[in-house]
Chains A and B, each alone.
Chain A
Amino acid sequence: MKKKEFIWKHKHLIGLRELSREEIEHILDTAAGFEEISTRSVKKAPVLRGKVVVNLFFEDSTRTRTSFTLAANRLSADVVEFTKKSSSVSKGETLLDTAKNLEAMGIDIVVIRHSAGGAPKFLSRNINACVVNAGDGYCEHPTQGLLDVYTIRKMKHSLQGLKVAIVGDIAHSRVARSNIYALTKLGAEVILVGPPTLMPAKIEQLPVKVSYSLDDVIGQVDVINMLRIQFERMGANPFPSVKEYSHNFGLTVERMQKAKKDILVMHPGPINRGLEIESEVADGPNSVILQQVQNGLAVRMAVLFLVNQGAMVKK
């Protein structure tokens, strides 16, 4: 197999926009190899033994953070938690100061989540450690994008030619962006669905289709990825009421009648039950929401492993 000769060169994972199809596939293949570790009785591999990973989280997170911590633990790295409530940074210690302080303590990998788009890129330019983006503003959430395509690939074997709908607040969603890049690079067709007030500027310049009607789209797609409504990011209400939003864009049992029988229902979590997705659908036979979480672990192990490898290559 030619793929085995692929050498990963990046010491950071900032976003999927800058990765090639081969690179994304290499991460997925590496993740597949790590998946098996979680099934062992001793759930550890020694590949990052002696390395220090910092979870530098400026925004609330439960699953992503836990997933990264577990992933690092399984690779035998030491994990340090560093939480700072995102305050706009002009007063007090700056992001750069924080990072340099951490670096002075001798860390190898920084996993950063930040409310400002570009914060991980900024960090990667200014410190020597590997930087892994765990979500920045509404720019990217690369490991979520990766675990989503990993899940689809596992269920559908290939993404080539699949139709994937991403539904909800595209404007403020880093998950949507990372998904768009990963899906389109792997050959899937992406349809964004939501009200025009939740579409970002010039979205038509990305290789996607846009629809304002979930009813028009639901019957055509192989995968539907329901985004969480993030009230905290929206500012002035972009839709009249939650009720009207749910009516138009919620994934209901009724709507599911029109879907393909083998449609995959995805959600990055945490779900707002009854809002963007009805409980019966979230818990139903087409839902792979928990598989996404499970696969997230293997994907994040792969990412931590690879950036560390990338740092070695750089040396």
Chain B
Amino acid sequence: MAKNILIKNGTVIDPANKINGKADVLAIDGKIAEVGNVKTQADIVIDAAGKFVLPGLIDIHVHFRQPGDEEEETIASGSAAAVAGGFSSVVCMPNTDPPIDNDTSVEYVHRMGRQARKTHVYVMGAITQGRAGEQLAEMGFMAQAGAVGFTDDGNGVQNAAMMLKALKYASMLKNVVVSQHCQDNSLAGAGVMNAGYNSTVLGVPGIDPLAEEMMIWRDVQLVRKTKMRYHVQHISTARSVEIIRQAKAEGLPVSCEVSPHHLLLTDDACCDYDTNYKVNPPLRTEADIAALKQAVKDGVIDALASDHAPHLKSEKELEFLAAPFGIASLECALSLYIKALIEPKVIDWPQLIAMMTYQPAKIISIDKGTLGKGKQADITVIDPNFEYKIDVNKFRSKSKNCPYDGWNVKGKVEYTIVGGEIRFSSREN
């Protein structure tokens, strides 16, 4: 049974309930009991003076590599990283080995998540069997088993008719979203970084921004026909933003997310062939970053998602062409968003927290992301001004492929409370 917890004297930011001010938060029996001036006593009292008290953060895009690549990450190690990063809920992507493309696999991920006893572990199933893009996966069974959505992440569904079928079929299922890693392979070719001046002088094949934009545009047309809820993963280009902006203006059920690296880094970072900057979609240009930030500000982008993609040092210590795509950033993601969006005053704190709590919760249809009375007590307490240097060697994640190593950032996670239990405390770590 969860102990009762009282968090006193903090600044509560709960955008879903339009709260932004000094208040205490009381959790009883794993549920939010009261937010305000609390007089009740509790088993555990946390003094949060000078701290922010937030709904537990939600990351709807992580790779925990289990089953199949447990040397890179496990659901247990990834979950430990999640709570250290302030995340009380995460959504695992299905591009494991074998892929999560059936209900048994969905249940397996859930079970491993429960056993890890850190964060809530959700999962998206594959749209197609084996993520091969040829035959629908059993989306109905997976939805019954609790999959929050579907994606062939790592691949986009290449065939338009197949994607149309997936959207149509999924539209009869409740509380799921169809999500897409938008990349037209015929345009992306063998590309390993953004196609541009840098890829030209580095002499490696580029990925044309069109590869992303064409698939988003195509899918928007399919969404217009099916009215199925559709989510674009990790958008990276200025034109992608415009396509989604128009789709939303038209009232289509489209949402999207952006990852920290696409807000902070450009393809200039690849100039020394450092494979820690090899990521898919690739790092783009300053103009793209500016457009993405504007889209965050305008609300065109709904959620912030790390796309935490752990890889072994030995896998990344290869030629740029040969190394795998991905950046591991779950444990420092909050600090990265602060650097990208709060420090340059793109948005304010309530807007940031909205994009990390109830907005992503809405995309995956879970009743989370707020401190409303009676909700499950998922709470994150942070010191927003605490400065520190990112040190990958302190990561709980098994992988250290993080280009932000050594960066000076702000924002320290003090407590991550999940279902009324303290699952992470900076004092014990």
Contact = CB atoms under 8 A, between A and B. Distances in A.
B273 interface: yes
A118 B204 contact: yes
A241 interface: no
Contacts of A122: 273, 319-320
B348 interface: no
Interface stretch (A183-191, A201-209, A245-253): A201-209
A90 B201 CA distance: 25
B322 A88 contact: yes
B196 A202 contact: yes
Interface in B296-336: 314-315, 317-322, 324
A106 interface: no
A209 B74 CA distance: 53
Contacts of B199: 200-201
B319 to A, nearest CB: 4
A47 interface: no
A136 B322 CA distance: 13
Contact of A137 (B189, B195, B321): B321
Given A121-B272, A121-B273, A201-B199, A139 B204 contact: yes
Contacts of A119: 319
Interface residues of A, number: 29
B197 A205 contact: yes
A157 B170 CA distance: 72
A72 to B, nearest CB: 25
Contacts of A114: 319
A143 B34 CA distance: 73
B319 A89 contact: yes
A235 B321 contact: no
B398 to A, nearest CB: 18
A117 B320 contact: yes
Contacts, number: 78
Given A118-B204, A235-B190, A201 B322 contact: no
B200 interface: yes
Nearest to A117: B203
A1 B314 CA distance: 50
Contacts of B321: 88, 115-118, 137
Contacts of A117: 202-204, 273, 320-321
A140 interface: yes
B318 A201 contact: no
Contact of A201 (B197, B320, B324): B197
B206 interface: yes
Interface in B255-284: 272-273
A203 B321 CA distance: 21
A136 B206 CA distance: 16
B196 A174 contact: no
A17 interface: yes
Contacts of B189: 235
A94 B202 contact: no
A68 interface: no
B322 A118 contact: no
B273 A118 contact: yes
A203 B200 contact: yes
Given A117-B202, A117-B203, A121-B273, A201 B314 contact: no
Interface string B176-216: 00000000000001100001110111111010100000000
A89 B197 contact: no
Contacts of B204: 116-118, 137-139
A123 B320 CA distance: 12
A118 B320 contact: yes
A205 B201 CA distance: 10
A201 B208 CA distance: 9
Given A202-B196, A235-B189, A139 B318 contact: no
A117 B190 CA distance: 13
Contacts of A96: 317-318
A195 B319 CA distance: 30
Contacts of A205: 197, 200
Contacts of B317: 94, 96
A122 B199 CA distance: 16
A177 interface: yes
A140 B203 contact: yes
Interface string A127-143: 00000000011111000
A70 interface: no
Interface in A140-175: 140, 174
A89 B202 contact: no
Given A138-B204, A206-B201, 5 more contacts: A89-B319, A116-B319, A116-B321, A122-B319, A137-B204
Interface of B: 189-190, 195-197, 199-204, 206, 208, 272-273, 314-315, 317-322, 324
18 contacts: A89-B319, A94-B317, A95-B318, A95-B319, A96-B318, A116-B322, A117-B320, A117-B321, A118-B320, A119-B319, A122-B319, A137-B203, A138-B204, A200-B200, A201-B196, A201-B197, A206-B201, A235-B189
Which 9 A-B pairs give the minimum distances between C-beta atoms? A139-B203, A117-B203, A118-B273, A116-B319, A116-B321, A202-B197, A200-B200, A138-B203, A117-B204
Interface of A: 17, 88-90, 94-96, 114-119, 121-122, 136-140, 174, 177, 200-203, 205-206, 235
